[in-house]
Amino acid sequence: MHSLQFSVPLLPTSRFKRHSVRCASDRQQLFNRIAPVYDNLNDLLSLGQHRIWKRMAVSWSGAKTGDSLLDLCCGSGDLTFLMSEKAGADGKVIGLDFSKEQLSIASSRQYLLSKACYNNIEWVEGDALDLPFSNGYFDAITMGYGLRNVVDKRRAMQEMFRVLKPGSRVSILDFNKSMQPFTALFQEWMIDNVVVPTATVYGLAKEYQYLKTSIDEFLTGKELEKLALDAGFSYARHYEIGGGLMGNLVAAR
């Protein structure tokens, strides 16, 4: 029995596994793995600042009482709960994500927080790149730290445009790919020297190392504005917040 001869030396599969967060299922599994500690690490690593940034994103969405709202890539529901408070009892909010574990945390939090208005929330397991909603359905859409994580940003923007009512807005919060050298260096230093070492304590080093590569591969504010205009939005403006570490794209249909 001849042993198989390969013309190209095969790298140990572990090397591929270490850096493989390329496809949707890799990212789905990543967010399932970090779900149990996601909220606590966000609070710890941003010193609670992320809650301010998320409130700004919801405010920019223009969500109001009685609206039909969508929080895309909702994860554990931070923005979904904020949108629920905006919509009130006469409105409704859909929190959509493709991570079962994240949605499970979100649903548990809804029960534990037990605010009356949270009865207007529906959790949907779905794909931001193929939304199960009809055209022109929502009065406002938020997407917090989701656009950087989808495998097709153009498709995601097109889907948001499709399901949004004319004259309505999307508000997309994420890390800012800063053009300012100091800001970019500080952001990278914090991830390398604070974020990843902390995540390592929980056995999640490579999951949080992905943050850096995903920011490197992300779009700048100007590129995000163009992405929205190319998808058909009539207006797009990217605001730098958190000292330039974060950014929020506001686009109107």
Ligand X SMILES: C/C(=C\Cc1cc(O)c2ccccc2c1O)CCC[C@H](C)CCC[C@H](C)CCCC(C)C
The site for ligand SAM (CB under 6 A) is made up of 24, 27-28, 31, 73-75, 78-79, 97-99, 102, 127-129, 144-146, 149-150
Q: Which residues bind ligand X (CB under 6 A)?
A: 34, 38, 42, 45-47, 49-50, 145, 148-149, 187, 190-191, 195, 207-208, 210-211, 214, 242, 245
CB closer to ligand SAM out of 149 and 171: 149
Tokens describing residue 140:
């406002």
CB closer to ligand SAM out of 10 and 158: 158
User: Closest separation between CB of residue 222 and ligand SAM, Å?
Assistant: 23
CB closer to ligand X out of 32 and 88: 32
CB closer to ligand SAM out of 103 and 235: 103
User: Closest separation between CB of residue 2 and ligand X, Å?
Assistant: 45
User: Closest separation between CB of residue 182 and ligand SAM, Å?
Assistant: 25
Tokens describing residue 43:
């609070």
Q: Binds 208, which of ligand X, ligand SAM, none (CB < 5 to 8 A, cut-off by type)? A: ligand X
Alpha-carbon distance of 81 to 103, in angstroms, equals 13
Strand partners, 144: 173
The answer to whether the beta carbons of residues 140 and 61 sit under 8 Å apart is yes
Q: Which is it for strands 246-252 and 164-175: parallel, antiparallel or unpaired?
A: antiparallel
Tokens describing residue 196:
């990843």
Query: Measured at CB, which residue is nearest to ligand SAM?
Result: 75
Rounded to the nearest 10°, the torsion over CA 118, 123, 127, 129 is -30
Exposure class string for 184-197: b at 16+ Cβ within 10 A, else e? beebeeebeeebbe
